[in-house]
């Protein structure tokens, strides 16, 4: 066996997709992983899609519900992760890429992140499905390409596992409207499938 090819295979990294419902601590876990890398002297490129601009009055940040926060880069659908990585690596160095709100990435973005695992590990955090319980574009491509899929579990108000990001408008649970509607606890509640169905029936 060619020893050079064997060595190249050994240094390949992985694409990870850590998914869960809203409120399942995805962003908190992303920031804790960032801390662990940096605590060991490594450089982390923290990114989120530019679409998620909640509260970014003083620059783009990744925020968690428990109060953890960190500055981050943003990427638009027209931009390339390959270019962003090269620029960041040249200026700061890069040992790991962490992407929050990865469901808002395009399929092309996920393809680019897969390519970047030639150089560094890539950890993505995000929702699996939208408020109609269908896969987001970015999440779908991650399911197809990720080397590791991990569910970050959360609990419904009934005690069962939450699997649905139920959307509420004027206090009523809805299953129609734009796929992307940026919001927090005022707009979304994580529920199990059956509680979600019960809420929908109340309004029909």
| Residue 47 neighbours by CB under 8 Å, 6+ apart | 72, 73, 74, 75, 81, 84, 97, 98, 99, 100
Where would I find the beta strands (DSSP E) of 66-170? 69-71, 73-75, 96-99, 122-126, 148-151, 164-169
Query: What is the DSSP code (8-state) at residue 102?
Result: G
User: What residues pair up with 151 in beta bridges, in sequence order?
Assistant: 19
Exactly one of 91, 101, 144, 199 is catalytic; name it. 101
Three-state secondary structure string covering 2-18: CHHHHHHHHCCCCEEEE
Is position 144 annotated as part of the catalytic site?
A: no
Active site residues: 101
């Amino acid at each position: 066996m060619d020893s050079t090819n064997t060595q190249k295979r050994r240094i390949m990294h992985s694409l990870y997709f850590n998914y869960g419902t809203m409120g399942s601590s995805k962003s908190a876990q992303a920031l804790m992983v960032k801390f662990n890398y940096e605590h060991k002297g490594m450089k982390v490129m923290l990114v989120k899609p530019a679409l998620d601009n909640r509260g970014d009055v003083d620059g783009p940040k990744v925020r968690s519900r428990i109060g953890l926060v960190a500055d981050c880069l943003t990427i638009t659908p027209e931009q390339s992760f390959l270019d962003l990585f090269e620029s960041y690596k040249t200026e700061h160095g890069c040992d790991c890429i962490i992407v929050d709100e990865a469901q808002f990435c395009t399929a092309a973005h996920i393809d680019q992140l897969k390519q970047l695992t030639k150089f560094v590990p890539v950890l993505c955090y995000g929702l699996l499905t939208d408020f109609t319980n269908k896969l987001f574009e970015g999440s779908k491509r991650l399911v197809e390409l990720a080397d590791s899929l991990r569910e970050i579990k959360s609990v419904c108000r009934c005690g069962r596992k939450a699997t649905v990001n139920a959307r509420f408008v004027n206090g009523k649970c809805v299953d129609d409207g734009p796929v992307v509607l940026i919001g927090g606890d005022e707009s979304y509640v994580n529920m199990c499938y059956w509680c979600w169905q019960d809420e929908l029936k109340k309004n029909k």
